[in-house]
Structure 1
Amino acid sequence: MKDYILSKAKIDADTAIILGSGMGAFADRLNNLTNISYSDIPGYPLSTVKGHSGELSIGSIKNISLIVAKGRFHYYEGYDMDTITLPVRLFHSLGVKKLIITNAAGSLSLSLPPGQMMIIDSHMDCTFRDSLFVPKKHNSKKYHDPSYIRKAFNCSEKIGISVSKGTYCWTMGPAYETPDEVSFFQSIGGHAVGMSTVPEIQQAAELDMRILAMSTITNYAAGIINKPLSHEEVIQVSSQVKDDFASLLTEIIMTI
């Protein structure tokens, strides 16, 4: 995989980005852009979810070299943890030291509306794959770099985009969470819920990469308001806030 990618593009990036559902348009802003389809990379898995185009984009913004993953892999797609986290290991092998992980997430509170961006300062594994105990909140600096979090907030203030911070709850999927599950996540201190990101955070931490994770809130979780959930809403809201998302992400890239 590494050799194939190096045969297609020169890599001198120390920053990589994983884009969440409906956020792929950010990569189109790169200069000197090279796109490599996942399907062309030997041994690389494929994205199967709408809103994940399945490409590696290699280029630069403001003269900062980047590798951008337009599409990720989820547990509910049938992939194991090694496959889900393979992009992180690939980035590391290419010299990446900084990883920005983004996702589309559901809000667990009326005070966190769709369209808002949330910097993740802690996370919980709510998949119950390995334990039936109440999930533990992970907020150590190896997972969530406090310096990067501060810089992200400074960036948001500089460009006038409101962001919040909070705890991300990782669920198995593919079904959306039930109202009872939402109540439970609220009771243990969750602010947003989604089906990705935590495995990538864990893998990056094991590789001693510096990490910033952020959610774009695309919907209220089940039971918060009287409205059915749909992936179409996720894609629609991501599209509506794509300019703010790109502006904030660009500012963060220039700062960290």
Structure 2
Amino acid sequence: MTGLVLGSGLGMLADAVAVEREIPFADAGLPASSVPGHAGRFLMGKLAGQSVILMQGRVHLYEGHSARDVTAGIRWMAEQGIDRLILTNAAGTLHPDFPPGSWMMLRDHLNLTGTSPLIGPDFVDMTVAYDADWRSQFKCAADEMGMDLHEGVYAGLRGPQYETPAEIKMLRVLGADAVGMSTVLETIQARSLGLKVAAFSCLTNWAAGITPGTLDHHEVLETGKLAAQSMIDLLEKVIGD
């Protein structure tokens, strides 16, 4: 069974699921999200004929939650029986060839949050955080669909402030192609549970300093909505296969 986590502005992905049961975060023992664009519920049902659990929204470190709280939904879905996990997020793009409105599949990440959901000597190998075979399947499916799916490195920061132009320059030196405020802790938690992981960033805006404009969360939500349909098509194709 597949678990999916929906990021900012990507709630319409839930419309593709034939919902059989709805569970608010509170009923599953999770804190509610205070961020616009995060519904705060689990949807259990079918996508492309396959059983899925959809986590519509997430909580973040910048809301005052701990790393364990942020990843509680991953543990809950694992308890329900998922064996693979698809993460989505909204991110700023640092790569000149990855324009806003397109999607980037994560091949690796930088955990710059300063924390981890793991406790004690839980030494998890993160050499291949994002499953290589699964990435290949998604890439082949995207090519068949004519979808422009980039691959790159995601930098996860704590937030809630957006990055400064100097910080973006630093992230580019470190090898980041996109930047956001989620996903990396969920991936660490999922890998510690033995789940296969794939992750996708909806590139909603240029990162600070790349263009003259300022950053706005409403722009993030709107771009996410516009780009959601191509991801729905990709998920249905790969999960259905």
Q: Distance in 2 between matches of 1:192 and 1:182?
A: 10
Task: Please state how far the C-alpha of 1:196 moved relative to its aligned partner.
Answer: 0.2
Q: Quick one: which amino acid aligns to residue 199 of structure 1?
A: L
**Which residue does the alignment assign to 1:4?**
none
1:62: Cα distance to partner?
A: 2.1
Q: CA deviation at 1:244?
A: 1.0
Residue of 29, 54, 66 corresponding to 1:68: 54
Secondary structure in 2 matching 1:183: helix
Q: 1:129 to 1:203 in 2, by over 3 A?
A: closer
* Counterpart in the other structure of 1:19: 6
- Which residue in 2 is equivalent to 1:3? none
In the other structure, the counterpart of 1:35 is 22
SS at 2:77's partner residue? helix
Structure 2 residue identity aligned to 1:229: L
C-alpha separation in 1, matches of 2:173 and 2:231? 29
Superposed, 1:1-256 pairs within 5 Å as: 14-39=1-26, 41=27, 43-128=29-114, 140-141=127-128, 143-255=129-241
For the residues of structure 1 that align with 2:19 and 2:176, how far apart are their CA atoms? Answer: 40
1:32 to partner: Cα distance: 4.2
Q: Which has the higher contact order (CA 8 A, sep 6+)?
A: 2
Residues 205 and 42 of structure 1: CA distance in aligned 2, closer, same or farther (over 3 Å):
closer
Q: CA offset at residue 42 of structure 1?
A: 5.2
Structure 1 unaligned spans of 5+: 1-13, 131-137
Query: Could you tell me which amino acid in structure 2 is paired with residue 68 of structure 1?
Result: L
Distance 1:65 1:190, change over 3 A: same
State the Cα RMSD in Å.
1.5
Contact 1:109 1:224 in 2 (8 A): no
Aligned equivalents of 2:174 and 2:28: distance in 1?
Answer: 42
Q: Which amino acid aligns with 1:155?
A: A
- 1:35 deviation in Å? 2.1
Name 1:5's counterpart in structure 2.
none
Counterparts of 2:115 and 2:48 in 1: how far apart (Å)? 42
Which digits, 9 at most, give the CA deviation of each residue in 1:72-97, with x for residues without a partner? 11000000011101011111111110
Shift in Å, 1:252 = 2.5
Task: Return 5+ residue gaps in structure 2 as ranges.
Answer: 117-124
CA contact (8 A) 1:118 1:163 kept: yes
Looking at structure 1, the residues matched to 114 and 66 of structure 2 have their Cα atoms a distance apart, in angstroms, of 15
Contact conserved, 1:75 with 1:84, CA < 8 A, in 2?
Answer: yes
1:61 Cα deviation after fit: 1.7
The whole-number CA distance in structure 2 between the counterparts of 1:19 and 1:178 is 26
The alignment partner of 1:241 has SS state of: helix
Identity, in percent, stands at 34
Structure 2 Cα separation of the partners of residues 23 and 60 of structure 1: 18
> How far did residue 210 of structure 1 move?
0.4
**Matched residues, number:** 233
Distance 1:104 1:250 in 2: 20
Deviation at 1:129, TM superposition (A): 5.2
Describe the superposition over 1:179-237 as per-residue Cα deviations: whole angstroms up to 9, x where unpaired: 00000000111000000000000000000110001111000100011110010000010
Q: TM-score, normalised by structure 2?
A: 0.93
Provide the C-alpha distance between the structure 1 equivalents of 2:219 and 2:7, rounded to a whole number of angstroms. Answer: 14
